Structure 1
């Protein structure tokens, strides 16, 4: 909203729209408390009291006292200490007189408060006939603390709810301020509605191992820990399967380039609208508002954190990671352990693991490499006009998940299940059977209908990988889909809209997180990479040539061994390069001689490998 300049006389800041470019601070400063100064050892160079008030200000990682640069911190991460530069030594620092600073900035603070309150009231008035529930998304951070206070001034407490969703990756001060804030507003407003949602029955580090570490490309954590529980709670409150929600948030344009492009009011889902109350506020304005209203402030800010959230986050900076490991090493080390396991699965060792984590390479994860699938996988084989799906160690029930595609009827016959899926005017016949740890579904005469194939594949992925995270459940507009504690689809409510499978690639958050692109991309890997350190063993080859296309649904190899074997088969020209992995004509010829003249078969294979495999060549 306002420009920020230094109030040198009072060791403070000034909010004004009349500051020149020379007077304006480009990066609006945050207050710095004694806890942060102690943490970095500034008490070796300066004297200052252990005051509740700030001691100085920081713009980025530069520290200012009375408008003068006195120190700077460079570097620092999960493994390395930062470099501290002291520009002014032997200072006697006095706390900031917050009362005086607030008084000098009373007019700008009054203006931004009233603009925000007017925005909330206008939004409520114009949207109330279309909205089932108004909510404040509370996180315990400075921005949501301000938004909560503004909404409480603008609307009666009966007209909105406040929801905190516990990610189980929060830090102790977060829980402290949540209960303090809840108590504060419940004492102030008789009908205040504050909900703490904790309905995930798995701890966060376990889910990191199941899904793989969250990344900037695979933000499964946001859907699983925040969005899904938030929506489930509002459904419970409104007693509606698909309530229309308007959420007041503390998202600010200053935080990132992406957020600077947000509209102040925007539709984020077909049932949810976000209203960014303080979209144009800067960091300094947020803190001054908190001080002016004497609102609770998360103690993590007193240690130097600029944003409060999960203890380890793919969007956090090396600065935040350094601070959190310094303050809460035991909690952070729990997630570092998972990251090290992930790096080892990628084949890294020793210093390579440290470098991978330190440089934040895990934050760029875009697929399932380095994630242990525990033998769970889904494969598809095209045979004539049929599609054969092979689910290895499936976690869920295909007969339930396929209801999202169409109406299903089936019966048991011998050891098989024979059924029919009705999709509009089409009927897809299928046979399902079990083979040890594999479940095999053969869908007959399906080719030609791309849309149905896509939906069925997504149902297969869900049947194979689902861990009941609930992310897809909240996409259902009718309430037909329930995934916790087990999958259940109400056929009377399901309209086969496809929202639960179209919200993400592959139709399943877990599948997306574990997906490794195979096929022709494997050829781009050099050396032993595509073979995942496995050679093609003689009994693997004999087993494949004796079974050909049936091998995909009937083998005893582990996930990585299967991927390695398929890479060897492609380079041997025994399977084609399409997704179907069909046996080639050469395979069919070699299958006739493998049991009687294995030597000739190997001679042909070695010749092909010489031309196609860089390892053999």
Structure 2
């Protein structure tokens, strides 16, 4: 998640000291009574259920040394709220009784979840003398200071490397430290002392739902009216659907759309790497609700494209275009024939900064006739969960197994902690993926850290992971981990006729595929066995399967770059069909083998197909104006 999230774009959530539950109105039930929960922005709080709840209690019980001691802070079955925070991997603030009592985080070195006491938790530990703590005979403590054993007057210290609540003997300062060798403690964070405030009996989730039910009915009414208004503005007819991921947010949209517009179809994109529980859940929900289910994708295109692109990464997200966007475009084109349509989307502003700045209604840049609308754009995760409890919704079981987001099970945006859940629930799937990564790493001489620490999730490895494995190892990985397809054109401009050399894999065997796409550049004049000649503008271009290139009557550098784009498309096409669906003239056709060809009579040479192709976006295309020597006349 984002390390910095503006407060003005963050959720407003309060704690009512009278009812002892979270609320969304600071004046509920009486003016000025509710207290803002001091959680880290964007404060997209969520309740802990199932595995999450058990994991959090286990971590707390380990820290507080026993279940009995933990029960002083958190009796069984009482509410735990979690709030995502920036860490090297998965991490949450743990909120009990409206106060942050600590962080739970996945430790990359030890490959396990750990607990760090914070704020209200430190205050509770020091006041009750439960769990791990140290009272120091110092007037003040500062971050980075190492407290020696002789300065600790009272303590219960954990082992080396674990966290401990700190307090000065004068009661002025509190903090958290990390235990070093010999019982010394390094101060990690310090603040002026606070108290853990107990407002009475802690609530259960049912208490939270009951208190906020009326609020959520009003929120539902706002969303329903908004959706009705948006629908009335456009001539959509029956071309309306809910984009359904199998997750909680799109489930809310389904119920709101049902109230606003009646039964609408659910569009589910089966990328081929959806969690099996999700696929089953989506089908069961549609059947039980009696709504039409439209399934896009559901083929092997991810693994087909994987052979071409290599592993996806956060900064190399070819997968979103190939297995998310392309199948949806395919499906909508086949259903609505290019007509104006409305997609109801479960997007929320607290999920990311880009979504926080998104309007509630927008035109899809890839599909100009598709209008997207999010009726819950300003809902928090806590509101979503309360609403689903109010309407007694059928939920995806993965939420109770440890997932807080639903999507592709190997998505590079996941944290390692999430992959551990995948490994636990779907061991065969994860073993298959790790085997693939191992072969990839072995073929490029990459170290084991590339897999262990999930470094494959980046092309440019970020700071936290660099500190974990070291700069030298990161440099070695980045130097060796070349995933982009490479097409290089060397051009000699010193002669009367411009000559060049194309360096690209597969050109010799796939020249026919190149010829099929050449009409986007101009008219194909002549085809002779391993040579093709075509006219591009005023230039005559001759191309051979050996990579020899000849241009007469002048040239433009931009046109040579366009040729490089065409080549990567023709040689490595993954059959995503984005170009086919983007062509404004219907000039791109399917051939008998499922490949693409261009009808030169219909093509206007706009080159939109070049620009939309994921291969072009994620390949390394180079044009060198240089003198050709014998040393670079060998194809890779």
TM over 0.5: yes
- 1:115-137: per-residue Cα shift (whole Å, max 9, x none)? 111121111111226x8933322
Shifted more, 364-373 versus 226-235: the winner is 364-373
Q: CA deviation at 1:5?
A: 2.6
Q: CA deviation at 1:338?
A: 3.8
The 3-state SS of whatever aligns with 1:75 is strand
Partner in structure 1 of residue 489 of structure 2: 379
Tell me the TM-score normalized by structure 1.
Answer: 0.70
Shift in alpha-carbon separation, 1:328–1:208, aligned structure 2, 3 A: same
Asked if structure 2 preserves the Cα contact closer than 8 Å seen for 1:136 and 1:148, the reply is: yes
- 1:329-386: per-residue Cα shift (whole Å, max 9, x none)? 4433433444444445554324465456299666779999624689x85534334343
Equivalent of 2:51 in 14, 17, 35: 35
- 1:544-570: per-residue Cα shift (whole Å, max 9, x none)? xxx9546544x3x6x4xxxxxxxxxxx
Shift in alpha-carbon separation, 1:72–1:485, aligned structure 2, 3 A: same
In the TM superposition, 1:292-307 aligns within 5 A as 292-307=390-405
Shift in alpha-carbon separation, 1:28–1:219, aligned structure 2, 3 A: closer
Partner in structure 1 of residue 607 of structure 2: 498
Partner in structure 2 of residue 420 of structure 1: 534
**In the aligned structure 1, how far is the partner of 2:332 from the partner of 2:112?**
44
Partner in structure 1 of residue 213 of structure 2: 106
Count of aligned pairs: 500
Asked if structure 2 preserves the Cα contact closer than 8 Å seen for 1:465 and 1:511, the reply is: no
The 3-state SS of whatever aligns with 2:618 is helix
The 3-state SS of whatever aligns with 1:200 is coil
Partner in structure 1 of residue 115 of structure 2: 84
Partner in structure 1 of residue 257 of structure 2: 151
Equivalent of 1:167 in 268, 271, 282: 271
Asked if structure 2 preserves the Cα contact closer than 8 Å seen for 1:216 and 1:363, the reply is: no
Q: CA deviation at 1:255?
A: 0.8
Q: Does 1:464 align with 2:477?
A: no
Equivalent of 1:509 in 600, 610, 614: 614
In the TM superposition, 1:128-527 aligns within 5 A as 128=235, 133-157=239-263, 161-186=265-290, 192-202=291-301, 204-205=302-303, 207-238=305-336, 240=337, 242-269=338-365, 270-344=368-442, 347-351=445-449, 354-355=452-453, 357=455, 370-371=481-482, 377-383=487-493, 384=495, 385-386=497-498, 388=500, 390=502, 391-394=504-507, 395=510, 397-412=513-528, 415-421=529-535, 426-434=537-545, 438=546, 440-447=548-555, 449-482=556-589, 485-503=594-612, 508-515=613-620
- 1:469-498: per-residue Cα shift (whole Å, max 9, x none)? 333333223433246821122344433322
Partner in structure 1 of residue 83 of structure 2: 59
Shifted more, 252-261 versus 478-487: the winner is 478-487
**In the aligned structure 2, how far is the partner of 1:108 from the partner of 1:96?**
18
Stretches of structure 1 lacking an aligned partner (at least 5 in a row)? 187-191, 521-546, 560-617
**In the aligned structure 1, how far is the partner of 2:78 from the partner of 2:26?**
24
**In the aligned structure 1, how far is the partner of 2:390 from the partner of 2:271?**
30
Q: Does 1:15 align with 2:128?
A: no
Shift in alpha-carbon separation, 1:109–1:373, aligned structure 2, 3 A: closer
Q: CA deviation at 1:237?
A: 0.8
Shift in alpha-carbon separation, 1:300–1:11, aligned structure 2, 3 A: farther
Shift in alpha-carbon separation, 1:418–1:348, aligned structure 2, 3 A: closer
Shift in alpha-carbon separation, 1:387–1:177, aligned structure 2, 3 A: farther
Asked if structure 1 preserves the Cα contact closer than 8 Å seen for 2:11 and 2:44, the reply is: no
Stretches of structure 2 lacking an aligned partner (at least 5 in a row)? 1-9, 71-76, 85-91, 132-200, 463-473
Q: Does 1:24 align with 2:24?
A: no
**In the aligned structure 2, how far is the partner of 1:200 from the partner of 1:349?**
33
**In the aligned structure 1, how far is the partner of 2:479 from the partner of 2:259?**
47
**In the aligned structure 2, how far is the partner of 1:249 from the partner of 1:368?**
40
**In the aligned structure 2, how far is the partner of 1:58 from the partner of 1:200?**
36
The 3-state SS of whatever aligns with 1:18 is coil
Asked if structure 2 preserves the Cα contact closer than 8 Å seen for 1:420 and 1:427, the reply is: no
Asked if structure 2 preserves the Cα contact closer than 8 Å seen for 1:165 and 1:198, the reply is: yes
Tell me the TM-score normalized by structure 2.
Answer: 0.68
Q: CA deviation at 1:156?
A: 3.6
Asked if structure 2 preserves the Cα contact closer than 8 Å seen for 1:209 and 1:371, the reply is: no
> What is the RMSD computed on CA atoms of the aligned residues?
4.0
